[in-house]
Amino acid sequence: MLKSFICTVVWGLGLILHPFHMSVCDIEHNAENKSLEIAQRIFIDDLEVGLKKFHNLESVETYKPKDPQKLDSLISAYILSKLSIVVDNKEMILNYLGSEIEGEARWCYIEVEGVEAVKSVEVTNLILLESFDDQENIVHVKANDKLKSYRLNRDEKHTTFNW
């Protein structure tokens, strides 16, 4: 009975601490700099699973890496293969800038240069879809002083925002 109770409590705490698999992608058009500023937030433990699977590695330290540049290289290759942005029917070149930890998540920063105006943004976000059946990727796009959002998942991998 006590063992069952302890298992139930531990399992319940796991759900409270990290009950689902979700990332958040914030994209903002900076008209002054003529760029898209992108911040992709991924839970550290989920990112570790995705990186290991993608790079076929036995282990990856995503919280306090011994070699932060190597970790950013792994993250960059992963994100650039999983995230695609098309602005006004033109595929954008994403430049990975780096990452930092905030709480239980890692923010990964990406920039797209040469974006003068935005009428439509198509986002494909496949991050962690290969790792978790219940993965959801929330996308927020701010352009022309309007914020639009959408939830992507295994069934809907991309969406288009129009202004």
- For residue 3, pLDDT over 60 is answered with no
Residue 5 lies in a domain: no
Residue 37 lies in a domain: yes
Q: What single DSSP character describes residue 65? A: -
Model's pTM, two decimal places? 0.86
Confidence (pLDDT) at 20: 78
Which residue carries 């029917």 as its tokens? 89
Percent pLDDT > 70 in the chain is: 88
Q: Under a CB-based contact definition with an 8 Å cutoff, are residues 138 and 22 in contact?
A: yes
pLDDT tens-digit readout, 56-73: 999 998 888 899 999 999
Please, what is the average pLDDT of the chain?
91
CA of 122: how far to CAs of 128, 148, 154, 163, in Å? 19, 12, 17, 12
Confidence (pLDDT) at 11: 42
Residue 68 lies in a domain: yes
Q: What is the dihedral of CA 43, 55, 127, 135, to 10 degrees?
A: -70
* Amino acid in position 18: H
Taking the C-alpha atoms of residue 43 and residue 23, their distance in angstroms, rounded to an integer, is 7
Taking the C-alpha atoms of residue 93 and residue 115, their distance in angstroms, rounded to an integer, is 11
Residue 112 lies in a domain: yes
Query: Which range marks the domain in which residue 86 is found?
Result: 21-162
Nearest in space to 105 (alpha carbons), one of 16, 4, 24: 24
Residue 146 lies in a domain: yes
Residue 8 lies in a domain: no
- Count of structural domains, the chain: 1
Taking the C-alpha atoms of residue 47 and residue 105, their distance in angstroms, rounded to an integer, is 9
Taking the C-alpha atoms of residue 61 and residue 74, their distance in angstroms, rounded to an integer, is 11
β-partners of residue 39 are 26, 109
pLDDT tens-digit readout, 107-156: 999 999 999 999 999 999 999 999 999 999 999 999 999 999 999 999 99
Confidence (pLDDT) at 18: 54
